A and B are shown apart, each in its own frame.
Chain A
Amino acid sequence: MRYLLMGAGLVMLAAVQSSILPYFRLYSGQPNLVMLVVAAWAIDSSWEEGAFWAFWGGICMDLLSVVPLGTSVVPLLVATFAIRLAVTQTEGLTLLIYLVVVLAGIIIAQIVLFVVLGLEGYFIEPVPVIRYFAIPSVIYQMLVAAPVYVVVRWLGRTFPARRVL
């Protein structure tokens, strides 16, 4: 149930992200809900689960965009790994630590995404992209990061992972 819920949830989030959220843009920025859910899941469960859902979420996002499949998977994987690594190094997760870690993860994901897109041959002008897309997106994501974590955590507790003996 846990995996079915998360898998279907990520599909829906990717669909919402490419259909509804563009109407709620802040300048040109919009929140990456898949990224926030995957990051929250990675914090609340295990790195392996986080990596799996990063993979799945990234594929869903790429299927709904014009970029090659896997383009969004790379930044999601890197960000999830970095977030998980940072959380395991800290003792006790407070809201502030969570927000700082997620902020760092979002920035890393943005940078990696630009690098991957650049390697794929997409020309990106850094200044307008940072000004009109990256910064508003980061602000937007920070605003919704805490509520997303609360929901993901509740789902994680409600549908715990099965123990394999």
Chain B
Amino acid sequence: MRRRWASNPLFYFFMCLSAALLIVVLSAAGVLAPVQNLLSIPLNAITGFLNRTAITVNNAGNELYDVASLRARNLELEAQLARITGEVIQLREVASDYQRLAQLLNYTSANQDRQFITADVVGVEQQGLLRAIIINKGTRDGVRVGMPVETELGLVGRIYDVTANASRVQLITDQNSFVSGRLQTSRAEGSVRGRGLLTGSLLMQNIGVDSQIIIGDLVVTSGLGGNFPPDVVIGQVTSARSLEFELSQEAQVTSFINFATLEYVLVVTNFQPADISIFDDPAGDP
């Protein structure tokens, strides 16, 4: 009979359950604390070892993940740096443009008697020593052939070909360019000719033998010939040559403008070149 009771699963279950509940009650009451402490020692040792191992493995895994994430972050930052570098370059360009335009504006403000339009240099034409620039303003903007072109640093050249929305400018450095100039100090007249060089090197010819040429003196347009308005800076005298057997002197003049890097120019729109060629024609004489 006792055997049957013991082999009954339900009986066994309730016996075990009762024992478990008794243990719970005794443990909650603190009666089993010494036993628990004793039994916990080996278990805690095993758990501690496993825990340390797990932490080591986990840290190693985290470090691997960190390396991967740092690599990804590095790539992301490199991309960001490239983008920001591009933006910085753009901003520098804008700042540079702003500076140049501000200088042009100062120049135009200081010359209220002349009307200007600002034009971008959109092309360069070069054939040997002949060099011209193309600007993005044409007849629609009021540009006409013969109008002078300047920057705040001085004379650039003259319009010699115009379309509706673009113009060609003959530079003063062109070998076919002749500008009537005047030395600012001695007021001596001369003809400033281009030498076909991008350096802005010019030659002032036909200066009277009695005239004093001072190195560093400014050369400005004289207005003679009616092709350019007077008193526009052409350049600065860098050297002079005077030969005894010649009837005139020559001066090396250098423009302040760097013609190789021109980006903006000013076209003087209220200057009409005077056509005086008729006076040169002998057939025109009465």
Q: Is the CB of A58 within 8 A of B12?
A: no
B contact face: mostly helix, strand, loop, or mixed: helix
Q: Which B residues are in CB contact (< 8 Å) with A74?
A: 17, 20-21, 24
**Is A5 among interface residues, defined by CB-CB distance under 8 A?**
no
The interface centre, meaning the residue of B40, B46, B58 with most chain A CB atoms within 10 A of its CB, is B46
Q: Is the CB of A77 within 8 A of B17?
A: yes
Known interface pairs A19-B50, A19-B51, A23-B54; A81-B13 also in contact (CB < 8 Å): yes
Q: Which B residues are in CB contact (< 8 Å) with A120?
A: 24, 28
Q: Is the CB of B16 within 8 A of A16?
A: no
Alpha-carbon gap, A16 to B17, bound state (A): 26
Interface contact tally, CB-CB below 8 A:
82
Q: Is the CB of B13 within 8 A of A15?
A: no
Known interface pairs A68-B27, A69-B27, A74-B20; A16-B50 also in contact (CB < 8 Å): yes
Q: Which A residues are in CB contact (< 8 Å) with B54?
A: 19-20, 23
Q: Is the CB of A64 within 8 A of B47?
A: yes
**Is B44 among interface residues, defined by CB-CB distance under 8 A?**
yes
Q: Taking CB as reference atom, which chain A residue is nearest B38? A: A63
Q: Is the CB of B12 within 8 A of A64?
A: no
Q: Is the CB of B23 within 8 A of A63?
A: no
Interface size class of B (residues with CB under 8 A): 20 to 34
Interface residues of A in 25-64 (CB under 8 A from B): 47-48, 51, 54-55, 58-60, 62-64
- Choice from B9, B21, B26, B28 contacting A81 with Cβ under 8 Å: B9
Alpha-carbon gap, A16 to B12, bound state (A): 30
Alpha-carbon gap, A51 to B211, bound state (A): 127
Q: Which A residues are in CB contact (< 8 Å) with B23?
A: 59, 69-70, 73
Alpha-carbon gap, A64 to B28, bound state (A): 15
Known interface pairs A12-B46, A20-B54; A116-B12 also in contact (CB < 8 Å): no
The interface centre, meaning the residue of A47, A59, A68 with most chain B CB atoms within 10 A of its CB, is A68
Q: Is the CB of B20 within 8 A of A15?
A: no
**Is B32 among interface residues, defined by CB-CB distance under 8 A?**
yes
Mark contacts of B21-61 with chain A using CB atoms, 8 A cut-off: 1 yes-contact digit, 0 otherwise. 11110111000100010011001101110110110011000
Q: Which B residues are in CB contact (< 8 Å) with A70?
A: 20-24, 27
Q: Which A residues are in CB contact (< 8 Å) with B39?
A: 59, 63
Q: Taking CB as reference atom, which chain B residue is nearest A119? A: B24
Q: Is the CB of A15 within 8 A of B16?
A: no
B23: shortest Cβ distance to chain A, in Å? 3
Q: Is the CB of B47 within 8 A of A15?
A: yes
Q: Which A residues are in CB contact (< 8 Å) with B43?
A: 11, 14-15, 60, 63-64
**Is A110 among interface residues, defined by CB-CB distance under 8 A?**
no
Alpha-carbon gap, A19 to B44, bound state (A): 10
Q: Is the CB of A78 within 8 A of B9?
A: no
Alpha-carbon gap, A7 to B63, bound state (A): 37
The interface centre, meaning the residue of B16, B27, B36, B57 with most chain A CB atoms within 10 A of its CB, is B16
A109: shortest Cβ distance to chain B, in Å? 13
- Choice from B20, B22, B32, B57 contacting A77 with Cβ under 8 Å: B20
Extra pairs beyond A60-B43, A70-B22, A70-B23 (8, CB < 8 Å): A15-B50, A19-B48, A47-B13, A58-B20, A59-B39, A69-B24, A77-B13, A78-B17
